Chains A and B, each alone.
Chain A
Amino acid sequence: DTAVSQTPKYLVTQMGNDKSIKCEQNLGHDTMYWYKQDSKKFLKIMFSYNNKELIINETVPNRFSPKSPDKAHLNLHINSLELGDSAVYFCASSLDVSSYNEQFFGPGTRLTVL
């Protein structure tokens, strides 16, 4: 059983399109995260939700909108895709934020914008 899963694993789309990436965790965790890894492999946090509430919202264009329908899911919707959005997007989850808890990462979604 995959602990943190993402769909799709690969996504190729045209500039200007709107797309979503889904993330699900079956660990019973309260906290979920989205990270972006750019073409130089640099990883940066984008968003985090704890118990369906947004707790981290880094400087990300408002074309990116996370949605957490329940604690087990955190989806990432991207409007009006641009070439610079091409990257690998990782979802992660941790037990909660009350103290240190290991973050478990999904396999990543490689987004290519043409």
Chain B
Amino acid sequence: AQTVTQSQPEMSVQEAETVTLSCTYDTSENNYYLFWYKQPPSRQMILVIRQEAYKQQNATENRFSVNFQKAAKSFSLKISDSQLGDTAMYFCAFMKRGGATNKLIFGTGTLLAVQP
């Protein structure tokens, strides 16, 4: 069974600075996807970024980038130039590729507070 671990329950960063959120996972699968979702106070789940395990290049979406270390089973999220609107709960998630269900397995989340 796959598990996803986020070891930082809470983090804080000053506006305009950079912060990195950690995620590790455990799986025996070779083909899978990894995701970071954002859940602001509005409760809406928003996909931030996606990484395909077979791609060596780290995914980037504007101010959001990941550091994917497949051998170490590590998948961290870097947020550059943090903005007040980045304040949210961030969830790391895993999905087996080629499965018949597209089942998402989530970590326990990291609450990020961006301070003015």
Residues of chain A whose beta carbon lies under 8 Å from any beta carbon of chain B: 31, 35, 40-45, 48, 50, 55-56, 88, 90, 92, 94, 97, 100-103, 105, 107-108, 110
Contacts and interface: CB of A to CB of B under 8 A. Distances in A.
Q: Is the interface of B mostly helix, strand, loop or mixed?
A: loop
Contacts of B39: 41
Contacts of B101: 48, 50, 55-56, 97
A97 B103 CA distance: 9
Given A45-B105, A97-B100, A108-B45, 20 more contacts: A31-B102, A42-B108, A42-B109, A43-B91, A43-B106, A45-B103, A55-B100, A56-B103, A88-B43, A97-B99, A100-B33, A100-B52, A100-B95, A101-B102, A102-B50, A103-B102, A105-B44, A107-B43, A108-B44, A110-B43
B97 interface: yes
B11 interface: no
